[in-house]
Amino acid sequence: MFSKACEYALKIMIYLNSKREDTHLAGLKEITKAIDSPEAYTAKILQQLVRSKLLISLRGPSGGFKVADRPITLLEIVVAIDGEKIVSSCVLGLEQCSAKHPCPVHQRFVSVRDYLKGVLTTTKLSDIESGLDEGISFLKM
C-alpha cells in the first residue's frame, strides 16, 4: 500500500516517538537497528522527515534525531514521503478520474481511499505509541 520508504518512515517516527521521554537523541545506527532498516536508505528518509519538520536533527557527539514537539498525524508522515497520491489519486493512475468521469473501479475504491485518509488524518503518533515498551506491538520481527 505504501512505498518501502514510507513504511520505514512510519517505523522511524513510531520508534522515535516511543523514546520521546529519553534525554538522549537517537542516532542513525540506533534507529536502523531498532527498525531493521538499511543505514544509507534510512539516512535519506531521516533527511526528508527533518525537511518536512516532523523530526529535529542535532549534530555533534551528542546529536541525533527526535520527534518535533507537536502532535503529528500519520497522514503528515505519509505525505512527507509518498505525497498525497495515496489519498487523492485514481487507483488506476488516471489523471481525470472523478465521480463525473470515473475509471472502472472508481466507485469501489473511492470509499476505501476516503476511509484510509480518515484513519491517517485522525491517528496521531501519540495514539499508537503504547505497546512497544510492553512488548505488545513490534516494529520488526
Residue-wise pLDDT for 111-137, tens only, equals: 998 999 999 999 999 888 767 767 778
For CA atoms 127, 132, 136, 140, the dihedral sign is positive
* CA distances to 2, 7, 39, 46, 105 from 112, in Å: 14, 19, 34, 29, 11
For 3-42, the pLDDT digits (tens) are: 999 999 999 999 999 888 888 899 999 999 999 999 999 9
For 72-111, the pLDDT digits (tens) are: 999 999 999 999 988 888 889 898 888 899 999 999 888 9
Strand ranges inside the chain, DSSP E = 55-58, 64-67
> How far is it between the farthest Cα atoms of the chain?
57
Residues 6+ positions from 59 with CB-CB distance below 8 Å: none
Cell 484513519 sits on residue: 119
Give the pLDDT confidence score for residue 62 in this predicted structure: 85
Q: How confident is the model at residue 43 (pLDDT cuts 50, 70, 90)?
A: very high
